[in-house]
Structure 1
Amino acid sequence: MFSLNFRKTGWLARYLIFRASTPFTGPEPYLEFTGEDFGEEKFDELLYLEVEKNGMFFGCPVISRPVQNLANKLNFPKQQGGTILLYLETLFSIALIENESLTSNLQHAATIPYHNRLLKIILLALRYHIPGIFYRIPEDILLTELLAENETLHGALKQFEEELLDSVTLKGYSSLGNRQNNFAFSKLYFFLLWTRAEAKNDKSEPEAFLEMDKQLREEMILTFAALIWADDYVDSTEQQVIKKYIEQTRLTESEQNKLNLRIVQPVKIEDIQCSSISVIISRYMVEQLILLSLIDNQEAWQEKEFIEKISLKLELTSEKLEQLYFSVAEFFSVHNERLEFLKNNAAARQFQDYMNDKVVKIVKKNMDNIMKEIGETKELSELLLKATTKPLTTEEKQKVQDQLIDVAKSIPALAIFALPGGGILLPILIKVLPFNILPSSFQDEPVSQQELSQ
């Protein structure tokens, strides 16, 4: 274990010293695919699962207790510390996994030590996040020695700290300590695209990917503006929100002024290029639009219609759009206290009620298929039968939940509602399932009087 010298090192250096001695275990979605040869689509699919779960996709990071405790231990900045640490954990863990996968076929790749891989990602992160700054950091010295003694590296890390505070977090107080720039995911994604290119020996400069990020931000602002103009009226709340979005782009002052002038006039869907480079970016844009449509506390059919049209331009099917609506509802149902701007919001409640009602109807419509699948799952059927006579243990309840989600995934009409995690689907299944009228195949073994009395 390396000493965390709080007097001589910054919080980013302390974090890297910690990670040098404590290797990443890898984000949960990636663990099932360890050792597989990933492709770009699989990378994006797994990234989507991770950033949606941890809230970065929504600009609303979910700061778990372990993350916050680590941020406190490493003396990260108060308020912003959890958000920054989550960004770093996501960036480094995923970049390491992707790099290892992409270089696994290279000669001697299997013998590359963890420290060497981590140093490579650190240097790439510095080049990307603080472009135009030139420094010489030797790569033939052990990472632990560099972090302990190299003044050039420490100087670069100090600049990186400032960049993270400026581009990943937002100024101002939040009782949750999780104020994140809505474009932080964009920064993360294009960095990962560049590191993938680097791993393939594509000598692209980071500036090309930074430019793609910039273009996406400009395009998203125009798309947001078109949404709030969809009903031909922009209220004061919408004006404030779109201005905040423009500030978060971190474009130059002249570029921000240009956008502010542009959105004063109506923006139509025809004005938007929608040059999405990947499915994950299309999802990112649409889910941000769904959230934005809830902010003004109104229910405008024009906005819903606009989102449908944008989705078509982004080549997302109606089924995919349905899944994105549900993903937002799922996240909101689990973490509504973290979406501060949606608290006491009538439109958000209506949206939540609409999604709940929709799932209830689909569950009831597919009840026969659900019961058939349950009947073919021996352990689940036994546990449900047991639940009619006595309480289940915590472990048994978890088994029921996990297996009910598996059942839902096997039924096409329910599959999209099971994928995000079941936050909405599970309570509905448990409430709607007719436990008291289970099929006769569940009742081969009669319940004993002893069990009934327990």
Structure 2
Amino acid sequence: MQINPSINGWIEKYINQYANEISHYATEEEFFVGCQNSGLIYGYVVNYHLNSEVDDKKWDTEEKIKVGFLSTLIALYKVQKGKDVEEFIETIIQFYNQISKGKFSFMKMVLPDANSFQKLESIINERLQTNDNIVTKNFTHMVTNAMLFIDVLAFEFYLKNDTISLEFFKDLERKCLALIMLSLNVKIDKSEYDMMLLKMFENSLRYSKVSKINEAEILELIFEGNRTNLESLYLYEVAHMTLLSDGVVYNNEQIFLEDFALKLNLNKISQNTGYELVNFINKYKKELPFFNLNHPVKQFYNNTQDNIGKLVSRNKTRLIKELSESKELVKLLRKSTQHDLSFEEKKKVKKQLLDICKSIPSLTIFLLPGGGLLLPILIKFIPQLLPSAFNENLND
């Protein structure tokens, strides 16, 4: 039976055909190596944790990521619960219900009378933001799909604790963004692309849990709270991926990785899983978006300000209405055009602006994993692109 991941009903077909073929991993480390070999961690899926072959010749990159993401969640469920997948569908929907709490748009897209398979299809479609909007599309390939593994880590926490909070989910994202920035800082020879990313991450984190960007503060954020072994492995891999962006890990970078592994309490065997990345890159470098100079990633950064400006301009009527109901946010935005905001003021701006994004469908891109990266650009454009009536209101 041919499966088309872009047609309704694909999840039910896939599970009926392949659920029993998804690998049973004995340990979290074996599961993580399986995730490396699948490519999901690197945003380029090449296999699906299956003990048999699946015909994916007609699937595009996005469809492969959908199936790879689903298979990874099922494989993790088997590791943690040791059960077949009958209960998986209801469990994963309950998980997304808990982290949503009405704050993410993907749960609002699910029809009340849809069956469980259709509900999960809607959720996965929204997590990958499969639409034709150029801002969303380019952003998806750069950040969202590469950060899908945060969903996997959060699902692991849920399976172990039977509960999860949205804040836990956001903390995982902040840790990854902070680690990428810290790793980029370690590089001696930074490319223009590295500098672009560094600037984006730094601006983003200034609206998050750190008031001043320095190594001690970033490390404190990364190591905040308890970690599972799977999370430690992923954080190590994120650092390794960042440093390998130029294809080479230099001596000072290797020392940083070894020290970071010690801080994560990873043993030598665990650290060796990082070399799966090198093997994967050597095999698929020509196809990997991160290493493809012609991929829209670089073009994305160069065009980001124009694209977000258009996004704001197209939604300015709704934005004016929403902003007019938030006098504190208006005053802070006006102040930000003339003076640096304090850390507490930045946190208020972020919270209130994200609340507005939740109410405007076109702006829900900023609520996706990694969406905080673009928030400072949105903040920059609002006072400039909104009409003079808004600027007059700023003086109230």
Bucket of the pairwise TM-score, normalised by the shorter protein:
0.5 to 0.7
Asked if 1 retains the 8 angstrom alpha-carbon contact of 2:150 and 2:169, the reply is yes
SS of residue paired to 2:126:
helix
| Residues 63, 178 of structure 1: 8 Å contact kept | no
1:66 aligns with 54
Check the 8 A contact 2:89/2:117 in 1, yes or no: no
1:294 deviates by: 2.3
Q: Which residue does 2:36 correspond to in 1?
A: 52
Match of 2:257 among 307, 332, 339: 307
Distance in 1 between the 2:249 and 2:210 partners?
Answer: 27
Residue 194 of structure 1: CA displacement?
0.6
Distance 2:142 2:177 in 1: 22
Q: Is this contact kept in 2: 1:124–1:195, CA < 8 A?
A: no
| 1:272 aligns to 2:272 (yes or no) | no
TM-fit CA distance, 1:51: 0.7
Distance 1:193 1:259, change over 3 A: closer
Task: Summarize the Cα distance change of 1:20–1:328 in structure 2 as closer, same or farther, 3 Å threshold.
Answer: closer
Query: Structure 1 residue 99 and structure 2 residue 81: aligned?
Result: yes
Residues 182 and 245, structure 1, Cα contact 8 Å, conserved in 2: no
Instruction: Name the TM-score, length of structure 1 as normaliser.
Output: 0.49
Equivalents in 2 of 1:299, 1:47: separation in Å? 25
Matched, 1:291 2:241: yes
2:38/2:46 contact within 8 Å kept: yes
Per-residue deviation, residues 164-207 of structure 1 (Å, max 9, x unmatched): 2239xx82399xx9996222112112113212333xxxxx2x32
Q: Secondary structure at the match of 1:315?
A: coil
- Deviation, 1:48, is 1.0
Which residue identity is paired with 1:182?
A
* RCO comparison, higher one (Cα < 8 Å, 6+): 2
Alignment partner of 2:147 out of 155, 180, 183: 183
Q: Does 1:171 align with 2:106?
A: no
The residue correspondences of 1:394-409 to structure 2 (distance < 5 A) are none
CA distance in 2, matches of 1:22, 1:307: 41
Contact kept in structure 1, 2:181 and 2:201, CA below 8 Å: no
Q: Distance in 1 between matches of 2:278 and 2:34?
A: 17
Query: Does the alignment pair 1:27 with 2:9?
Result: no
* Pairing partner for 1:124 from 81, 91, 94: 94
Question: How far is the alpha carbon of 1:316 from its aligned partner?
Answer: 2.5
1: CA distance, partners of 2:81 / 2:91: 9
Matches within 5 A, 1:127-276: 127-128=97-98, 130-132=100-102, 150-151=113-114, 156-157=119-120, 159-166=122-129, 171-172=137-138, 181-198=145-162, 204=163, 206-207=164-165, 210-230=166-186, 235-242=191-198, 258=207, 265=213, 267-269=214-216, 271-273=218-220, 274-275=223-224
* CA distance in 1: counterparts of 2:274 and 2:121, whole angstroms: 40
Contact kept, 8 Å, 1:98 with 1:196, in 2: the verdict is yes
Distance in 1, Cα, partners of 2:268 & 2:67: 36
User: Does the 8 Å CA contact 1:243/1:260 hold for their aligned counterparts?
Assistant: no
Superposed, 1:313-332 pairs within 5 Å as: 313-317=263-267, 320-321=270-271, 323-332=272-281
Tell me the SS of whatever aligns to 1:338.
Answer: coil
Taking the aligned partners of 1:178 and 1:236, their CA distance within structure 2 comes to 16
Residue 160 of structure 1 deviates from its aligned partner by 1.3
- 8 Å contact 1:13–1:154 — kept in the other structure? no
Matched with 1:83 is 65
Structure 2: distance between partners of 1:171 and 1:320? 35
Give the Cα–Cα distance (whole angstroms) in 2 for the partners of residues 284 and 149 of structure 1. Answer: 35
Structure 1: 5+ residue runs without aligned partners?
34-41, 73-77, 102-113, 135-146, 199-203, 247-253, 345-454
Over 3 Å counting, the alpha-carbon distance change for 1:258 and 1:58 in structure 2 is same
Residue 355 of structure 1 corresponds to none
TM-aligned CA deviation for residue 228 of structure 1: 2.1
Contact 1:228 1:303 in 2 (8 A): no
Provide Cα deviations, 1:399-450, integer angstroms capped at 9, x if missing partner: xxxxxxxxxxxxxxxxxxxxxxxxxxxxxxxxxxxxxxxxxxxxxxxxxxxx
CA shift for structure 1 position 97: 5.8
Unpaired runs of at least 5, structure 2: 105-109, 131-135, 294-396
Counterpart for residue 378 of structure 1:
none
Aligned residues: 276
Identity %: 14
What is the rounded CA distance, in whole Å, between the counterparts of 1:12 and 1:133 in structure 2?
27
Distance (Å, rounded) in 2 between the aligned partners of 1:148 and 1:271: 41
The amino acid that maps onto 2:93 is: L
User: Residue 157 and residue 51 in structure 1: after superposition, are their counterparts in 2 closer, same or farther (change >3 A)?
Assistant: closer
- Offset of residue 234 of structure 1: 5.3
Aligned to 1:104: none
| Alignment map for 1:6-25 (pairs within 5 Å) | 11=6, 13-19=8-14, 21-22=16-17, 24-25=19-20
Q: TM-score w.r.t. structure 2 length? A: 0.55
> For residues 28 and 54 of structure 1, do their structure 2 counterparts lie closer, same or farther at Cα, with a shift above 3 Å needed?
same
- Indicate the residue corresponding to 2:288 in structure 1: 339
Task: Give the letter for the 2:29 counterpart.
Answer: E
Runs of at least 4 residues of structure 1 off by over 6 A? 177-180, 260-263
Larger radius of gyration: 1
Deviation at 1:159, TM superposition (A): 4.5
Q: Which residue of 1 aligns with 2:366?
A: none
Give the Cα separation in 1 of the matches to 2:175 and 2:36: 22
Kindly state the Cα deviation for residue 87 of structure 1 after the two structures are TM-superposed: 0.3
| Cα distance, 1:14 vs structure 2 | 0.7
Q: Give the distance between the partners of 1:150 and 1:79, measured in 2 at CA.
A: 30
